[in-house]
């Protein structure tokens, strides 16, 4: 087998090659060198090289026949810049590899800035609350250990149906978003530690919310499947919970939602209705309403 492989390699090297064959061999050799010498460098350079090969050559990356010659980072960079590429995506991947080899990959945390230098305008440079809200709003699943699913009682008649709905809302794929960079995973861990969550379920109804740095996201499964949705209210300072009734204190007044069969939220509603998020007012208490209106922002309805 080794003899045949060596003879085939010799035939390939001795015969005339087309431009695409030269590109294929050059990219294969560079991939071999980077897989051996730079596989541990942050940024996953071998994968970027394979993607560039697929875009440019139009084929899946072939099995490698042997080891490439030792090459320095400068030599590899020069060889990459000498490639005659035509596909835009391939050029983008190669430019990224060159940048990683020359300057290292961009860091999402602990970035050292020179005097007068500012952080780039990027998602990972936002504060942790904003990063957490962007990812959760984009479909990220914060329940890495499936605790939400495990807490729903198994003995209830609708357990199987509700479990399917929870799985549809909190998908395994959604967990992957937290591992895109170190800042995202760090943010999730801080939110789990410093944030708060609450869960309510009764037969055919399931409610769960998470709050971190004033951003509150709700997951409410009743007669339809859904995903985490940002509560459309000002930043929550705290949430008061009484069984399945919720009242949030914000810089601009009180907001309430949940069960209201006894008028807990200050108005009448259907006995079985789970009230959507609504601004709470005090029509029956003019003095309270007047006091609330007179308070400056940030001081409204404190308790």
Residue 113 lies in a domain: no
Cα–Cα distance, 68 to 9 (Å, whole number): 14
69, pLDDT greater than 60: yes
Residue 112 lies in a domain: no
- Cα torsion angle, 186, 192, 195, 197, sign: positive
Q: What are phi and psi of 196, to 5 degrees?
A: -145, 155
230, pLDDT greater than 80: yes
Which pLDDT score is estimated for 211? Answer: 97
Q: Confirm if 49 and 95 have CB atoms less than 8 A apart.
A: no
Average pLDDT over residues 186-211: 89
| 140 and 75 part of one domain | no
| 139 and 69 part of one domain | no
Report yes or no on whether pTM surpasses 0.75. no
| Alpha carbon separation from 157 to 29, 197, 216 (Å, rounded) | 61, 26, 30
Lowest mean pLDDT among 90-94, 151-155, 174-178, 275-279: 151-155
Which pLDDT score is estimated for 271? Answer: 58
Strand pairing class (274-279; 229-230): unpaired
Number of Cβ within a 10 Å radius of residue 125: 15
Q: Which helix (H) or strand (E) holds 303?
A: none
| 284 and 231 part of one domain | yes
4, pLDDT greater than 70: no
Q: Which residues contact 170 (CB under 8 A, 6 or more apart)?
A: 141, 143, 146, 148, 149, 219
Average pLDDT over residues 88-117: 82
| 98 and 127 part of one domain | no
CA dihedral 8, 12, 15, 16 (to 10 degrees): 160
| 80 and 229 part of one domain | no
Residue 114 lies in a domain: no
Cα–Cα distance, 115 to 186 (Å, whole number): 26
| 142 and 265 part of one domain | yes
Which pLDDT score is estimated for 238? Answer: 92
Residue 300 lies in a domain: no
| 155 and 290 part of one domain | yes
Express as a percent the part of the chain with pLDDT over 70: 83
Higher-confidence residue: 86 or 20? 86
The count of domains in the chain is 2
Please give the residue range of the domain that contains residue 279: 123-294
| 27 and 95 part of one domain | yes
Which pLDDT score is estimated for 156? Answer: 60
275 forms beta bridges with 258
Q: What angle do CA 293, 295, 296 make, to 5 degrees?
A: 115
């Amino acid at each position: 087998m080794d003899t045949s492989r060596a003879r085939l390699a010799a035939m390939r090297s001795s015969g005339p090659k087309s431009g695409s064959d030269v590109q294929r061999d050059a990219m294969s050799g560079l991939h071999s060198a980077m897989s051996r010498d730079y596989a541990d460098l942050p940024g996953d350079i071998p994968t970027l090289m394979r993607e560039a090969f697929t875009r440019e050559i139009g084929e899946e990356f072939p099995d490698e026949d042997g080891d490439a010659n030792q090459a320095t980072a400068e030599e590899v960079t020069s060889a990459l810049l000498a490639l005659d590429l035509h596909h835009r995506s391939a050029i983008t991947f190669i430019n990224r590899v060159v940048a990683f080899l020359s300057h290292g990959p961009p860091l999402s945390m602990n970035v050292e800035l020179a005097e007068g230098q500012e952080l780039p305008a990027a998602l990972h440079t936002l504060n942790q609350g904003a990063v957490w809200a962007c990812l959760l709003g984009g479909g990220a699943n914060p329940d890495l250990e499936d605790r939400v699913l495990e807490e729903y009682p198994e003995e209830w008649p609708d357990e199987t149906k509700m479990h399917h709905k929870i799985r549809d809302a909190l998908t395994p794929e959604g967990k992957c978003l937290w591992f895109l960079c170190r800042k995202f995973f760090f943010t999730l861990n801080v939110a789990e530690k410093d944030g708060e969550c609450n869960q309510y379920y009764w037969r055919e109804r399931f409610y769960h919310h998470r709050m971190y740095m004033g951003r509150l996201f709700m997951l409410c499964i009743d007669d339809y499947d859904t995903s985490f949705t940002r509560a459309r209210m000002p930043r929550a300072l705290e949430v008061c919970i009484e069984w399945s009734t919720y009242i949030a204190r914000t810089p601009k007044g009180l907001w309430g939602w949940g069960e209201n069969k006894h008028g807990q939220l200050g108005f009448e509603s259907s006995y079985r209705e789970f009230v959507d998020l609504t601004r709470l007012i005090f029509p029956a208490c003019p003095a309270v309403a007047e006091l609330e209106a007179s308070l400056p922002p940030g001081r409204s309805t404190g308790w």
